[in-house]
């Protein structure tokens, strides 16, 4: 099973912000397609969401603001199961997702078993709802 973490050019910008004196909260919008049979009641999906929530809340002081199902795609061709909005107190916290020891290892192990495809969008800081 391959790790799906493939950074884009924007990743360098996130690192630049995280390492600056201008780091700030960030909202990441996640567009997820899960493996057949996992969403929304599969055991692996449920375990993944539990591990993700622990990682975010207990290790990174971050928060899922919303998690909602996708009923269909009236325009376009992207097939999704779920959209979520995750608030991070800083870009540095987002980057730390992979550096939290066993909590990160478990989260990414389950993610690789549950998530077929994911796209994450970094959104403007001035529209972030306060958690």
pLDDT tens sequence across 52-84? 999 999 999 999 999 999 999 999 999 999 999
- Using the predicted structure, report yes or no on whether residue 127 has a pLDDT greater than 90: no
Domain boundaries of the chain, sorted by first residue: 20-70+78-127
The answer regarding whether domain 20-70+78-127 maps to CATH 3.30.70.100 reads yes
CA distance 103 to 105: 6
pLDDT-based confidence at residue 5 (cuts at 50, 70, 90): low
Contact indicator for 103, 55 with CB cutoff of 8 Å: yes
Q: pLDDT tens-digit profile of 86-98?
A: 999 999 999 999 9
3-class state of residue 48 by DSSP:
helix
pLDDT-based confidence at residue 129 (cuts at 50, 70, 90): low
For residue 103, what is the enclosing H or E element?
helix 102-114
Is pTM beyond 0.85? Reply is: yes
CA distance 2 to 85: 25
């Amino acid at each position: 099973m391959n790790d799906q973490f493939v950074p884009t050019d924007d990743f360098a910008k996130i690192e630049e912000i995280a390492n600056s004196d201008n780091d700030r909260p960030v909202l990441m919008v996640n567009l997820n397609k899960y493996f057949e049979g996992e969403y929304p009641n599969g055991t692996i999906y449920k375990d993944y969401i539990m591990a993700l929530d622990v990682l975010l809340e207990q290790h990174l002081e971050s928060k899922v603001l919303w998690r909602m199902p996708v009923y269909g795609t009236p325009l376009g061709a992207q097939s999704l199961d779920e959209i979520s909005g995750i608030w991070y107190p800083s870009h540095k916290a987002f980057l730390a997702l992979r550096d939290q020891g066993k909590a990160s290892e478990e989260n990414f192990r389950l993610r690789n078993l549950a998530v077929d495809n994911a796209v994450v969008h970094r959104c403007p800081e001035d529209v972030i709802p306060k958690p």
